[in-house]
Structure 1
Amino acid sequence: MVDHRSNGSSSAVQISDYPSPAYGWYVVAVLTIAYVFSFLDRQILSLLVEPMKRDLGLSDTQISLLQGLAFALCNVLVGLPLGRLVDARRRTTLVASGIAFWSLATAGCGLVRSYPALLLLRMGVGAGEAVLTPAANSLIGDQFPPHKVGLPLAVYSIGIFIGGGLALVIGATIIAGALRSGPLLLPLIGAVRPWQTVFLIIGLPGLLVAALALSLREPRRTGALHQRVAANGDVSVGAVPLREVFDYLRTNARAFLGINLFMGFSAVAGYGVAAWVPSMFIRRHGWSAVEIGHTYGLLLLTFGTAGVLCGGWLGDVMTRRHGAAGRLKAAVAIKLLTIPFIAAYTLLPDGRLAIFPLAAAVFLPTFLNGLSPAILQQMVPNQMRGTAISISLLVINLLGLGLGPTLIALLNDRVFHDPSAIHLSILIVSVVMVLLSLACLLIAYRPYRSLADQLRAHAVVT
């Protein structure tokens, strides 16, 4: 069982127990840069769909496996063990190692010439990225008091959209240059196609980010801590046995499952859209990869980043006004506002007009990326954060990465039998997932509020 009794220290968290705000924001900056590179490496493939299909003779479904399921499988295999390491070992070293691993795997995608090898390397990218978010959320949570952690977590979360946006903008620029230059000739390797050149240029700089991550100090753990009472009455704070973590999550299953499914179904829509919107504009509106890469990339950079920051700020405001349930109330409103914009950008026949509702459909859902990390942190004691976040990422990646791109591809290949019907596949998957995620959020509302309030009352620092 989990015992939250104090070991004699005050039950109130003191701001002086945390690192200086300046250093805390330095940690956030380094981790955000790492997150940018993770999504840069992950998202670049969405812009390379058409040349990869042509050169390797692939279907939409095979491409979707590279975009999603390869990552999901790796998170199942390594996500939970890495989360346990985050709770028990030096987190900064784990972050640096993960960055180096996925960067080399991304660069390797530029050297292989077969689909199975590509699939294996994309799984390697997923394995390397599996450690970053559990470790980053845990590290950031130890830099700021609970009532101030929402905005730092939101800043970290903008890495999704900066990375995704840069992948499209930079990728489009590299593709344009590579197409002009033709295949790249490398010693011992031979000719490298333009889309392979993109992987090499995107992947290798990540090794510099890995070196930067080694500059971070490992902080002490703060917040509500798991405490164990020995037979002689001594209270100790230490690593939590996995059995006790699962006991805690089982006891609070309705809240934990509901929140995780809310985030998972949201991710199905998010990852599916990110994977196929460039192809929608290429196939439906006749845009080039360079045109949609620059346009959609800038939307992610601007509206995506703004949405995450607004979500983090809104979550902190709603928490001060409404307590632990404040962030959930904000999430419900955002979900309902998003639906008409999804319908508009997928159904408008003019691509230039569709960009405007697409901007809103990027901006509003990204509020949830600013809300969700703090929602999850409010549910678990500190020494369970890495494991709990890894379980959440497992759900998010199995559903989001595993199903999002593939559901849209399967509708295209098996239902509509028409690549140009991609807009209808995006519409159906997006709206259904919004409604499913909203239902899960409402189911979790009451038990979540009770659990988060209880943990907040027992917050301590050791």
Structure 2
Amino acid sequence: MRKQDNRVQIGAWWMLAVLLTLYTLSFVDRIVISMLVDPIKQTLGLSDVDMGIVIGPGFGVAYCIFGYIFGLAADRLSRRHVIYGGVTLWSLSAGLSGLAGNFIGLLGFRAGVGAGEAALTPAAYSLITDRFPHRRLTTAMAIYQMGAKLGASVAFAVGGISIAFATTLQHQNWPVIGTMEPWQIALGLTGLPGAALALLVYTFHEPVRDATIKEKADRAPLLQFMRAERQALLPMAIGFASIAITMYSLTSWTPTYMSRQFDWHPAQYGPALSVISLLGAGSMIVKGMIVDWLYGRGIRDAHLRFFTWLLAATTPLGAVAFFIRDPWVFLVVYAIMQVVALQFVVFMGATLQLLVPPELRGQITGLFLGFFTLLGLGAGPTFTALLTDYLFRDEAKLGYSLAVTTCLTIPLAWLSLRAALAPVNAAFDRRDAAAGSVT
């Protein structure tokens, strides 16, 4: 019996490793383009606002729309098939983005990246929740969410190398395509390999769903549940969307900020940002273990409560970071913000998996991911660009725009999530009461 349990456990960890790999890949494709803003602008004749739309709404709107669609599919269909289709779609879209010849073409390809990436996390959360006990759920999800930071690290490291390598090929005459700019080659090098890696999803067995859950999924009252738990879900949605605005704005514009403010090139800032991302990835496991320990000691809202503590600790840093004129001091402060507070999805995801009935998890997760991505990635980079172009009217004042964005959104996130604590606990009470009445 113990031998069988060990096999199951090994299978669960392998599944988690595959999901982590694919999630890491998704952030590589999501972030590399932020290292190529200025050369893309020069080639296609775009503005900061144009690039903000491409990086933000171009990705975020598609992610929001397809988040629910793929979440529904994850509740009813094979989650491995859903993930495979999504990874293939975003990888091809990311790799072919280099063929875009104008704003509309680039926008369309980025929408394809957003649509494909929307398939991964709802299905991944569902798989992880089925394979790991609640006492280890946050740690398992933290390992999965490491992909965001690992992806950023790989993007900054490999992206810089790819850009340098692509520069040596810019005069190469390619069949059918002709010559290509370095940024076009770099997007192909980092994007297209994902279509092959998507096959990894078929190297693990999908957990068998309970027949009653499948039946409930076909008639699950989504709107009824959302209305009943709106006092918990609404402030959570606002809070996580607010911090997403900060996270995506910083992720999208910090490379450009370092280029403009400190005159650093990708080969200089790439390794530094890569190290910061690796530190953030490692910290996620520690934070996941802390939350699991708190949850095990009876603090049922530990996921939200612990995150609000982190937000309170880092709020002052957001007010001063972009007024620092020494690049190394800036990197230290930026690293503290990234490592401590700007990794929030694991706290949201674990709370939802514990709060939401199994037959609705994919849909609710997809809606939440779509909402915070639409406002975070959709509005965040564009809002920052609008401040730069129309309020400060100076590209050199990008740091001011990032400071304003940060100082507005982090306090709002803290207030919203603190307001969610009592309703979340009440929702847990109703869940436990319903489970007790069934047994």
Match of 1:213 in 2: 201
Match of 1:259 in 2: 236
Decide whether aligned partners of structure 1 residues 437 and 253 sit closer, same or farther in structure 2, where only a CA change above 3 A counts.
Answer: same
Match of 1:250 in 2: 227
Q: 318-327 vs 414-423, which deviates more?
A: 318-327
Match of 2:394 in 1: 418
Contact 1:324/1:453, CA 8 A, preserved across alignment: no
CA displacement 1:71-130 (0-9 Å, x = unmatched): 221123322121111111111111011111111111111222222111101100111111
Query: d(CA) in 1 for partners of 2:63 and 2:92?
Result: 18
For residue 418 of structure 1, report the CA deviation from its aligned partner: 0.6
Match of 1:133 in 2: 121
Query: d(CA) in 2 for partners of 1:257 and 1:246?
Result: 13
For residue 157 of structure 1, report the CA deviation from its aligned partner: 0.4
Query: d(CA) in 2 for partners of 1:147 and 1:18?
Result: 17
1:241 aligns with 2:222: no
Query: Which of these residues, 75, 82, 91, is aligned with residue 70 of structure 2?
Result: 82
Query: d(CA) in 2 for partners of 1:189 and 1:151?
Result: 46
Decide whether aligned partners of structure 1 residues 377 and 197 sit closer, same or farther in structure 2, where only a CA change above 3 A counts.
Answer: same
Decide whether aligned partners of structure 1 residues 338 and 18 sit closer, same or farther in structure 2, where only a CA change above 3 A counts.
Answer: farther
Contact 1:226/1:381, CA 8 A, preserved across alignment: no
Query: d(CA) in 1 for partners of 2:249 and 2:435?
Result: 38
Decide whether aligned partners of structure 1 residues 346 and 397 sit closer, same or farther in structure 2, where only a CA change above 3 A counts.
Answer: same
Contact 2:315/2:411, CA 8 A, preserved across alignment: no
Query: d(CA) in 2 for partners of 1:286 and 1:36?
Result: 29
How many residue pairs get aligned? The number is: 434
Give the superposed CA RMSD: 2.1
1:316 aligns with 2:285: no
Query: d(CA) in 1 for partners of 2:102 and 2:141?
Result: 39
Q: Structure 1 length as normaliser, TM-score?
A: 0.90
Decide whether aligned partners of structure 1 residues 453 and 290 sit closer, same or farther in structure 2, where only a CA change above 3 A counts.
Answer: farther
2:372 partner amino acid? I
Query: d(CA) in 1 for partners of 2:114 and 2:432?
Result: 33
Contact 1:43/1:275, CA 8 A, preserved across alignment: yes
Match of 2:188 in 1: 200
Query: Which of these residues, 283, 302, 306, is aligned with residue 260 of structure 2?
Result: 283
Query: Which of these residues, 307, 310, 313, is aligned with residue 337 of structure 1?
Result: 313
CA displacement 1:288-333 (0-9 Å, x = unmatched): 1221122112211x22202322221121112112421122221111
Contact 1:18/1:142, CA 8 A, preserved across alignment: no
Contact 1:18/1:145, CA 8 A, preserved across alignment: no
Match of 1:232 in 2: none
Tell me the percent identity.
Answer: 30
Query: d(CA) in 2 for partners of 1:17 and 1:71?
Result: 41
Q: Secondary structure at the match of 1:420?
A: helix
Contact 2:320/2:403, CA 8 A, preserved across alignment: no
Contact 1:41/1:106, CA 8 A, preserved across alignment: yes
Contact 1:345/1:356, CA 8 A, preserved across alignment: no
Contact 2:319/2:406, CA 8 A, preserved across alignment: no
CA displacement 1:369-415 (0-9 Å, x = unmatched): 33221112121011110000011012111110111101110000010
Query: d(CA) in 2 for partners of 1:367 and 1:78?
Result: 23
Match of 1:404 in 2: 380
Query: d(CA) in 1 for partners of 2:172 and 2:283?
Result: 39
1:47-446 mapped onto 2 (5 Å cutoff): 47-221=35-209, 237-241=215-219, 244-300=221-277, 302-446=278-422
Contact 1:134/1:389, CA 8 A, preserved across alignment: yes
Q: Secondary structure at the match of 2:355?
A: coil
For residue 181 of structure 1, report the CA deviation from its aligned partner: 4.1
Decide whether aligned partners of structure 1 residues 310 and 184 sit closer, same or farther in structure 2, where only a CA change above 3 A counts.
Answer: farther
Contact 1:226/1:382, CA 8 A, preserved across alignment: no
Decide whether aligned partners of structure 1 residues 366 and 21 sit closer, same or farther in structure 2, where only a CA change above 3 A counts.
Answer: farther
Decide whether aligned partners of structure 1 residues 371 and 86 sit closer, same or farther in structure 2, where only a CA change above 3 A counts.
Answer: same
For residue 261 of structure 1, report the CA deviation from its aligned partner: 1.5
Q: 450-459 vs 43-52, which deviates more?
A: 450-459
Q: 310-319 vs 403-412, which deviates more?
A: 310-319
Q: Structure 2 length as normaliser, TM-score?
A: 0.94
Decide whether aligned partners of structure 1 residues 260 and 240 sit closer, same or farther in structure 2, where only a CA change above 3 A counts.
Answer: farther
Query: d(CA) in 2 for partners of 1:406 and 1:183?
Result: 33
CA displacement 1:45-71 (0-9 Å, x = unmatched): 110011111111111110011111012
Query: d(CA) in 2 for partners of 1:372 and 1:323?
Result: 16
1:24 aligns with 2:1: no
Q: Secondary structure at the match of 1:191?
A: coil
Query: d(CA) in 1 for partners of 2:6 and 2:337?
Result: 37
Q: Secondary structure at the match of 2:173?
A: strand
Query: d(CA) in 2 for partners of 1:153 and 1:367?
Result: 12
1:448 aligns with 2:424: yes
Contact 1:311/1:371, CA 8 A, preserved across alignment: no
1:349 partner amino acid? R
Query: d(CA) in 1 for partners of 2:187 and 2:404?
Result: 32
Query: d(CA) in 2 for partners of 1:184 and 1:266?
Result: 43
Q: Secondary structure at the match of 1:324?
A: coil
1:81 partner amino acid? I
Decide whether aligned partners of structure 1 residues 273 and 79 sit closer, same or farther in structure 2, where only a CA change above 3 A counts.
Answer: same
